[in-house]
Amino acid sequence: MEDDTANGVEVKRYDRLQARYLTTGDFSALQQMNTNYPMETRTLVEDVLQLGEVNDPEINTTFLNFYQDTLLQTIIVDVESQYADMDDINQELSKAFDNLEKLLPNTEVPLIYSQIGALDQSIVIGDKAIGICLDKYLGANYPAYKRFYSQQQRSSMQRSYIVPDCLNFYLVSLYPMDNYDSRPQREKDLHMGKIMWTVNTVIGKEFFKSRFIASVKHYMHTHPGVTVKELLESDDYRQFD
């Protein structure tokens, strides 16, 4: 991985180029986005914002105009201010992926980058990549959030949730539930309980809490021979009865 340094994982700051282009129209920033981050740009334009195809001749104008909205311009400035330094996130991610490797050997460390969305998604999972939408982590009391989100939703829209959310969504992508849509709600909840228990174990504290997580924790405590990989790969939920 390109951004894997001696100190561990480092978030690629795609958002900085994005902010430069979207606030000043700096064409060199757009060129760097397309040249250095083609996958990230395609994912943002086509999948996150759904503005059209990235090779459309008019897409750059559409992309720029979309972000001229007053609220989005404010968010861009606030993201760049709040996340001028992400050393703490890099350190937390490095530690987390070290711990994940111990629990789940041979788990590949994905490319991790930051971007500015439009309040649609928090974490975007791509091909061996995690995109962090910093616009969804500006703090529970961020004024704009109060217009669109409940207090409960806002409680998770803060910096401390970035690393747990990255791990959560990444593990869901690595250990998806077969036939998810047709499964009973209890099994869906237990599957997420297994994922979230794993995240709690990786970060070393009970960050996520629910009765389903508690059931998984009890099961693993009483079955010390079961590996985390076996837990996540198992499709049998009767053991949690």
- Which two structure tokens, joined as six digits, stand for 221? 């405590």
Q: Could you tell me the pTM of the whole model? A: 0.93
Quick one: pLDDT at residue 8? 86
**Which residue is listed with tokens 């991985």?**
1
Q: Are 44 and 129 in contact (CB under 8 A)?
A: no
**Cα–Cα distances in angstroms (integers) from residue 49 to residues 137, 147, 153, 213, in the given order:** 18, 20, 21, 33
**Which residue is listed with tokens 């334009």?**
45
10-residue stretch averages of pLDDT, the chain, 241 residues long: 56 97 95 96 95 94 95 97 97 96 94 96 94 98 95 96 98 93 94 98 95 96 95 90 69
Quick one: pLDDT at residue 22? 96
Quick one: pLDDT at residue 38? 96
- Which two structure tokens, joined as six digits, stand for 174? 């690595």
Strand, coil or helix: 172? helix
Quick one: pLDDT at residue 118? 94
